[in-house]
Amino acid sequence: MSGPAFSSGAPGVSPRATMHHLIRGLWISRALWVAATLGIADLLEEPKDAAELSHVTGTHGPSLRRVLQALCSVGVLTQDDAGRFALTPVGATLRSDAPGSVRAWASMVLGGETYQAWGALMHSVRTGGIAFDHLFGQDVWQYRTGHPEYARLFDDAMTGLTAGIAPAVAEAYDFGAIGTLVDVGGGHGELLAVLLQVSPRMRGVVFDLPHVVAGTGPFLARAGVLDRCDVVGGSFFDGVPAGADAYILKSIIHDWDDESATAILRSCRRAMSPRSILLLVERLLPTMIESSGVSETVTFSDLNMMVMNGGRERTEVAYRALLDAAGLRHARTVPMSVGFSVVEAVPA
């Protein structure tokens, strides 16, 4: 099965053509948003034509067909001689039931409030302010509290993203000696469920805001680990469950500026015993940025933090400084196979 006809930087592709492809990124992302929001991938268990898909989705058939054809051109879908559309392996990641599904992530990032906030990127560049706060008059955390549908989409997106890297966390780091692990900001418990499955002697605690953990119990039950896991609601700024052997924070610290990030780490430090360990699962910003998939992923994630909530991606040196300020000492950094690292710290 062939991939996209265009590949930036490929032999024979001119700089001008490469730039045009980058500019079309906006159009590509909006077409993906339409497909994700309509659930097109879920409807393509077998090939269908645009008329069938438009009937189910309540859309205008000829217009939908044009969007689907465009997605064929970038390797998300294929079209056969009968005009029926089917998923490629890339498109299959948009299925709701795909392992590590990105459907909710695409729906959230490419549309609605996130799309509007990115439209105000220049505000952040000119002022240093947070584009989301500028547009909506409150920070994204307050906004989600008052807009449960947006909060649900965010939680679903985080569950899908975490499912995509949780096995790599378990592979990279040995959890065998840990008795109790607290997943701080653990959402619906996706990461902890995987870690408990591969470490049958370990117990766990999912800790997150009360409205987030409200749906965690059924998820843990389906994963078969509810009998070894407690669910606790609260704010990590106020405190986290004390006395555990280890604390893990996956993609939490990058959400916050240095002052708030240090406050979260200090809250964890107060809960730790002298023998506890702290694990941060984060992307590390390279000290030298080059044209590569790794650099693209982390630098644009960094921009997303700037636009949405005032956080940032950081180098290992920057994480060491945060840990030092919180009374913790960097012990080691364990690279993962999916572009993340596990940063291990102990009480100083």
Q: What is the pLDDT along the chain (348 residues), one digit of tens a residue?
A: 344 445 555 678 899 999 999 999 999 999 999 999 999 999 999 999 999 999 999 999 999 999 999 999 999 999 999 999 999 999 999 999 999 999 999 999 999 999 999 999 999 999 999 999 999 999 999 999 999 999 999 999 999 999 999 999 999 999 999 999 999 999 999 999 999 999 999 999 999 999 889 889 888 999 999 999 999 999 999 999 999 999 999 999 999 999 999 999 999 999 999 999 999 999 999 989 999 888 999 999 999 999 999 999 999 999 999 999 999 999 999 999 889 999 999 999
Distance (Å, whole) CA 291 – CA 326: 34
The CATH number of 112-347, from 3.30.950.10, 3.40.50.150, 3.40.190.10, 3.55.50.30, is 3.40.50.150
* SS3 state at 68: helix
The CATH number of 15-96, from 1.10.10.10, 3.30.1490.20, 2.130.10.10, 2.102.10.10, is 1.10.10.10
The active-site residue, picked from 20, 55, 211, 254, is 254
- The residue with tokens 């997303």 is 304
- Active-site annotation holds for 134: no
Pair of tokens at residue 185: 């900001």
Tell me the pTM. 0.92
Domain range summary for the chain, segments of one domain joined by + = 15-96, 112-347
Distance (Å, whole) CA 213 – CA 20: 44
Q: How far is CA 187 from the centre of its chain?
A: 12
DSSP 325: H
Closest CA to 197 of 229, 230, 234, 165: 229
